[in-house]
A and B are shown apart, each in its own frame.
Chain A
Amino acid sequence: MSAQPLVALVGNPNAGKSALFNALTGARQKLGNYPGVTVERKVGRLALDDGAIVDLVDLPGTYSLDPTSPDEEVTRNVILGKQAGERMPDALVIVVDAANLDNHLRFALELVALGLPTVVALNMVDLATRDGLELDAARLADDLGVPVIPTVAVRKRGLDHLRVELSQMLPVAAVPLRARKTIGSFAEIQKEAQRIARRAIVSETPSRRLTGAIDKVALHPVAGMALLLALLFIMFQAVFTWSEVPVAMIEGALAAIEEAVSGALPDGVVKDFLVQGVIAGVGSVIVFLPQILILFFFILMLEGTGYMVRAAFLMDGVMTRVGLSGRAFIPLLSSFACAVPGIMATRTISDPKDRLTTILIAPLMTCSARLPVYALIIAAFIPARQVWGGIGLQGLVMFILYVAGIVGAFVAALALRMTVTKGGGGGFLMELPKYQMPLLRDIALGLWQRAVIFLKRAGTIIFVTTVVLWVLLSYPKAPEGSGISPIKYSAAGRIAAVIEPVLEPIGFNDEIAVALIPAIAAREVAVAALATAYSIEDAGGDEVKTERSLTQRLSGRWSLPTALSFLAWFVFAPQCISTIAVTRRETNGWKWPTFMVVYLLGMAYIASGVVFWTATALGL
């Protein structure tokens, strides 16, 4: 427990709460989770002018203290001092959208009635002015009985004033607590809110020109859909093309490190461990950082501008067909970067069965961890030629793999909706916020946080599994001159021999069996594992670069049906500890993650088998 007072930032969704949080705390924020739920806990340090330090917590946006989804429940519990892992806030900053007063004031009235020291941030006053609204903050303060500060979070306007108000109401003892008021029924508060809003509005001209004009196109049944598809196309193109230069730079740096380590160390266990284990393993994963950041950049931009909700609106019709809601589109799109944030994003889906279905199919979206696997196999087996007038065959195969994941997800959703997640059907109900240009600083902050999470993962989970795998693959050593493959003789080889009979019918060989075990931790480890396995096997041979030689080694040893079957496996298989862990946390138990693993393994096995035997029958 820290001694600093805790101030909670609370308000409706789309009131600009997060922008205000970022503006007040800068980069001094900590991301975490509330125990037992996957609701993100965002806390930052705020220094007041009198030198006092307070902890500022950014609570999920909600419309009332009557929660309809897990994140709204956290907001309610924190404010009432009932949330595990959070102390009772000492003061509230209520954020309201100046242009949407009559709606936001209802929740504000509920909060003010709690009697905590409170200040209202009348946010986005600039947009309200642009919309033709002129407001009287003093009048509003009189009616609400708490101070009201006009702010523009993205321009950092009004923040000094807000800090002064906070330092006046903290420490808590300095301010006598107002009595907790009982408030009327929903309709009565609504009337009161509208009355106060009307009194606070000095003049008003109805308008929403910019957003309305963009929405004429963006929400148009045909033009809007075309725009959405175009945006998605640009996004996936950018993931590949923009990343070429940074990926090459990282590869160059890794090669230089490998060379330096090789040169500096004498031959032996330590050198083998560092070069074959650590650098080959962890390095093959870090290479994907640029692509992941580009994907997240697009997702953060789409969210920040307000477009993402429009995409969900457009997709609702399609999603309904497979028994999902348009809301599921946002978590599923995020899952193309990584299923973990995707699954966490499902917390905004209020219907429990919609949400569960979305969680269960999220791992079928082609996440960025599959890219290394796909890229390796495609480079080794699919010739770089053009088909049908200029379409690259390699790119086409990659595209087919993405589509296979999406189709698989839709089929799975339909099947789940008819069986285990039958019933319910929450519908689609969302506010479409005004468009706005997100602050570059906020986007950069989001990217920075994602990069840290990814590198931590590479440094822990992937590092540990790679090291363990290297040890298992290297020991025990086959007797000199025995002619036994060192892999087969090793501990990993012996474990793989046990599962190999199961995998043999779908065309998998020993090395694949060896690679699949550590790849349970994370898909991209499969590449590192194959690299380690074949480089140990070939140790003592010529010293070619892992990357290039791995491609050559694979194309020399695997048949085409085996390679295709391997790709099909990775479209479906649940090879990711983090996803399983987040599913367990999200669904509060082992039942659903176990179900997810079993059904995905089943799909993977069947798909690989079909692909292998079809390809074999076609004589490929």
Chain B
Amino acid sequence: MSLRLDELPQGRPAYIDRIDWTLMSPSEGQRLREYGICEGASIELMHRGGIFGGGAVACRIGRMTIGMRAKHAAAIEVATTAAGEGILPS
């Protein structure tokens, strides 16, 4: 099942299927890659922020937690791994 990172249920392990780099500036794309966000990496949505909506989301990548805007998360397409199944090697 493929869906956008911002739609991923919290705490459901997934891996990155495809990233639409055109939805962000080159420097934002660079920073995402520096955080280790790339196709094939395993990722998990941890928190959604802000009571006023439009806020950021926090996700776990490797052993880091990254905060990003929902619009960046929307550029990241993920596929969920079935519960209990091991996380795919990146």
Q: From residue A240, how far is it (CB to closest CB) to chain B in Å? A: 28
Q: Is A187 an interface residue (CB 8 A)?
A: yes
Q: From residue A323, how far is it (CB to closest CB) to chain B in Å? A: 13
Contact of B36 among A102, A224, A309, A318 (CB under 8 A): A102
Give the distance in Å from the alpha carbon of A313 to the alpha carbon of B54 in the complex. 12
Q: Is A99 an interface residue (CB 8 A)?
A: yes
Interface pair B64/A103, CB less than 8 Å apart? yes
Interface pair B47/A321, CB less than 8 Å apart? no
26 CB-based A-B contacts, threshold 8 Å: A100-B62, A102-B63, A103-B64, A131-B63, A186-B33, A190-B38, A194-B90, A212-B46, A215-B65, A216-B47, A221-B49, A225-B50, A309-B67, A313-B49, A313-B67, A315-B50, A316-B50, A316-B69, A317-B49, A317-B52, A318-B52, A321-B52, A426-B25, A428-B69, A429-B28, A432-B66
Q: Is B35 an interface residue (CB 8 A)?
A: yes
Give the distance in Å from the alpha carbon of A315 to the alpha carbon of B31 in the complex. 21
Candidate in A106, A222, A321, A427 with the most chain B CB atoms within 10 angstroms: A427
Interface residues in B24-67 (C-beta closer than 8 Å to A): 24-25, 27-28, 30-36, 38, 46-56, 58, 60, 62-67
Interface residues in A151-208 (C-beta closer than 8 Å to B): 186-187, 190, 194, 208
Q: Is B71 an interface residue (CB 8 A)?
A: yes
Interface pair A316/B62, CB less than 8 Å apart? no
A216 contacts which chain B residues (CB < 8 A)? 47
Interface pair B30/A224, CB less than 8 Å apart? no
Q: From residue A310, how far is it (CB to closest CB) to chain B in Å? A: 8
Count of A-B contacts judged by CB separation below 8 Å: 124
Q: A212-B46, A320-B69 are in contact. List 19 more A-B contacts (CB 8 A).
A: A64-B34, A100-B62, A102-B63, A187-B38, A221-B55, A225-B51, A316-B56, A316-B69, A317-B51, A317-B55, A317-B56, A320-B55, A326-B56, A427-B28, A427-B72, A428-B56, A430-B67, A431-B64, A432-B58
Per DSSP, chain B at the interface is mixed
A313 contacts which chain B residues (CB < 8 A)? 49, 55-56, 58, 67
Q: From residue A87, how far is it (CB to closest CB) to chain B in Å? A: 28
Interface pair B50/A221, CB less than 8 Å apart? yes
B50 contacts which chain A residues (CB < 8 A)? 221, 225, 314-318
Contact of A63 among B28, B34, B38, B69 (CB under 8 A): B34
B46 contacts which chain A residues (CB < 8 A)? 212, 215, 219
Q: From residue A130, how far is it (CB to closest CB) to chain B in Å? A: 12
Per DSSP, chain A at the interface is helix
Contact of A219 among B49, B54, B71 (CB under 8 A): B49
Give the distance in Å from the alpha carbon of A102 to the alpha carbon of B51 in the complex. 34
**Which B residues lie at the A interface, using CB under 8 A?**
24-25, 27-28, 30-36, 38, 46-56, 58, 60, 62-69, 71-72, 90
Give the distance in Å from the alpha carbon of A315 to the alpha carbon of B24 in the complex. 21
Give the distance in Å from the alpha carbon of A68 to the alpha carbon of B72 in the complex. 17
Interface pair B51/A221, CB less than 8 Å apart? yes
A350 contacts which chain B residues (CB < 8 A)? 27, 31
Give the distance in Å from the alpha carbon of A211 to the alpha carbon of B46 in the complex. 12
| Closest B residue by C-beta to A103 | B36
Give the distance in Å from the alpha carbon of A100 to the alpha carbon of B58 in the complex. 17
Give the distance in Å from the alpha carbon of A431 to the alpha carbon of B62 in the complex. 12
Give the distance in Å from the alpha carbon of A376 to the alpha carbon of B49 in the complex. 41
Q: Is A441 an interface residue (CB 8 A)?
A: no
A103 contacts which chain B residues (CB < 8 A)? 35-36, 62-64
A219 contacts which chain B residues (CB < 8 A)? 46-47, 49, 58
Give the distance in Å from the alpha carbon of A149 to the alpha carbon of B27 in the complex. 33
Interface pair B63/A427, CB less than 8 Å apart? no
Give the distance in Å from the alpha carbon of A430 to the alpha carbon of B55 in the complex. 13
Q: From residue A424, how far is it (CB to closest CB) to chain B in Å? A: 9
A222 contacts which chain B residues (CB < 8 A)? 51
Q: From residue B1, how far is it (CB to closest CB) to chain A in Å? A: 23
B62 contacts which chain A residues (CB < 8 A)? 100, 102-103
Give the distance in Å from the alpha carbon of A426 to the alpha carbon of B30 in the complex. 13
B55 contacts which chain A residues (CB < 8 A)? 221, 313-314, 316-317, 320
B67 contacts which chain A residues (CB < 8 A)? 309, 312-313, 316, 326, 428-432
Interface pair A215/B47, CB less than 8 Å apart? yes
Q: From residue A124, how far is it (CB to closest CB) to chain B in Å? A: 12
Interface residues in A209-235 (C-beta closer than 8 Å to B): 211-212, 215-216, 219-222, 224-225
Q: Is A50 an interface residue (CB 8 A)?
A: no
Q: Is A542 an interface residue (CB 8 A)?
A: no
Interface pair A66/B49, CB less than 8 Å apart? no
A309 contacts which chain B residues (CB < 8 A)? 67
Interface residues in A279-296 (C-beta closer than 8 Å to B): none
Contact of B66 among A68, A131, A212, A429 (CB under 8 A): A429
Contact of B68 among A64, A131, A215, A428 (CB under 8 A): A428
Contact of B49 among A190, A316, A427 (CB under 8 A): A316
| Closest B residue by C-beta to A312 | B67
Give the distance in Å from the alpha carbon of A102 to the alpha carbon of B64 in the complex. 10
| Closest B residue by C-beta to A219 | B47
Give the distance in Å from the alpha carbon of A211 to the alpha carbon of B35 in the complex. 19
Q: Which 3 A-B pairs have the closest CB atoms?
A: A317-B50, A317-B55, A63-B34
Candidate in B33, B49, B90 with the most chain A CB atoms within 10 angstroms: B49
Interface pair B30/A68, CB less than 8 Å apart? yes
Contact of A100 among B34, B63, B69, B72 (CB under 8 A): B63
B27 contacts which chain A residues (CB < 8 A)? 68, 350
A68 contacts which chain B residues (CB < 8 A)? 27, 30-31
> Per-residue CB proximity of A312-342 to B under 8 Å, as 1/0?
1111111011000010000000000000000
| Closest B residue by C-beta to A211 | B65
Give the distance in Å from the alpha carbon of A186 to the alpha carbon of B32 in the complex. 12
A426 contacts which chain B residues (CB < 8 A)? 25, 28
B52 contacts which chain A residues (CB < 8 A)? 317-318, 321
Candidate in A216, A221, A429 with the most chain B CB atoms within 10 angstroms: A429
Give the distance in Å from the alpha carbon of A507 to the alpha carbon of B46 in the complex. 55
Q: From residue B71, how far is it (CB to closest CB) to chain A in Å? A: 7
Interface pair A317/B66, CB less than 8 Å apart? no
Give the distance in Å from the alpha carbon of A220 to the alpha carbon of B10 in the complex. 12
